[in-house]
Amino acid sequence: MISISLCMIVKNEALTLNNCLESVKGIPDEIIIVDTGSTDQTKEIAKAWTDQVYDFPWTDDFSAARNASFQYATKQYILWLDADDILLPEQRSKLLQLKETLADNVDAVGMTYEIPQQIDRGVVSYTVRLRLVRRDKNFRWQGVVHEDLATDQLYHYLSSAIKVTHTKTISGTGASPARRNLDIYEYHLASGHELTISERFHYARECHLHHLYDQAIESYELCMNHPDVSLENQIFAMHKLATCYVQAGQPHKELELTLKALAKDVPYPAFSCRMGEHFLKQGHIEAAIHWYNTAYHHPLQERYNASVVDTAYQTWLPHEQLAMCYELLGDAKQAGTHRQWAEFHKMGIAGKIL
């Protein structure tokens, strides 16, 4: 059995920290919590779980804080979580089993990160992140925001079936997203920091989130053909870029980017939906049906797990559009079937009955 150090950074997480730690209770051999300036009861809650609670002055750099937490680890492997992450009971059992059976030559384990951002849409996005890494491989965090783990050493990677769930949701009230991440990027840019291409990718996403479409477009354009950006993230950047162009009043760019994306790789579900919409607008219903079917029958969905997966484009959305298409063709039975599948996916139960 391997030994595990759980390393976390926290600030004002009194409402979430206990739930996080309870969800992995009994699995870490030590818990290390680095506090970056809490003014609530976070530190008191942390001290109920571990005597390894440390202060770290916040420097507008998430990697600096996470690397500080890793420095205190003493066990064979390091697991990291945020205070608003949990492992559901089934996933906790999987992690415990992994701890008991992990081969000694595995250096890093990937786990799916599920983000249920809307209460009426189930899991709306997910990605796969390195969650458990061997301490002696010297993994370190890079990037001031949306940081990633990296090492200069060769390592043996295992993709696991374990899922970590993010518990903060968007309530649907229309509240504006927090500017914290964007403010950090702007602070570093104003200080003369030159963004790496990875940081540029995430900066584009923050600008997009805050409707700063011109800045988002500029950064996505840099990412979509960059040799240091993976094919999966190039396609994702093109998908987001197409959305930005529509929202910036340049809808003709959407079809142009869709065709470029289809020439670059197998059809990505979002671009299959865009092709379906294109033909639907032209009144070519059979062609629209083909592309919407392609979206949810995407044969290589797992390829994009290392990027961010917008689940709508391969679940409920193409089914809703197929229902509309079959209604236009007068096929009420097929329309009803797809409408039902759309609702199943929205409720998050389709995957359990497929």
* Bridge partners of residue 79, in order along the sequence: 6, 132
CB contact set of 38 (below 8 Å; sequence gap of 6+): 10, 11, 12, 13, 14
Determine the pLDDT at residue 170: 42
Query: pLDDT by residue (tens digit) across 254-266?
Result: 999 999 999 999 8
Q: What is the pTM of this model?
A: 0.88
**Angle, CA of 180, 183 and 187, to the nearest 5°:** 140
- Cβ atoms of 350 and 337 within 8 Å: the answer is no
Q: Residue 4: what residue type?
A: I
| HSE, side-chain direction, 13 A CA sphere, residue 139 | 26
Query: pLDDT by residue (tens digit) across 53-74?
Result: 999 999 999 999 999 999 999 9
Determine the pLDDT at residue 171: 39
180-353 matches 4-166 in CATH topology: no
| Nearest residue to 170 (alpha-carbon basis) of 220, 225, 125, 230 | 125
Determine the pLDDT at residue 310: 87
Residue extents of the structural domains in the chain: 4-166, 180-353
Residues of the chain with pLDDT below 50 are 119, 170-175, 351-354
Q: Does the domain made of 4-166 have the CATH classification 3.10.180.10? A: no
Determine the pLDDT at residue 172: 40
What's the first-to-final CA gap in the chain, in angstroms? Answer: 35
Any idea which fold 180-353 has?
Answer: 1.25.40
Integer Cα distance of 270 and 258 in angstroms: 9
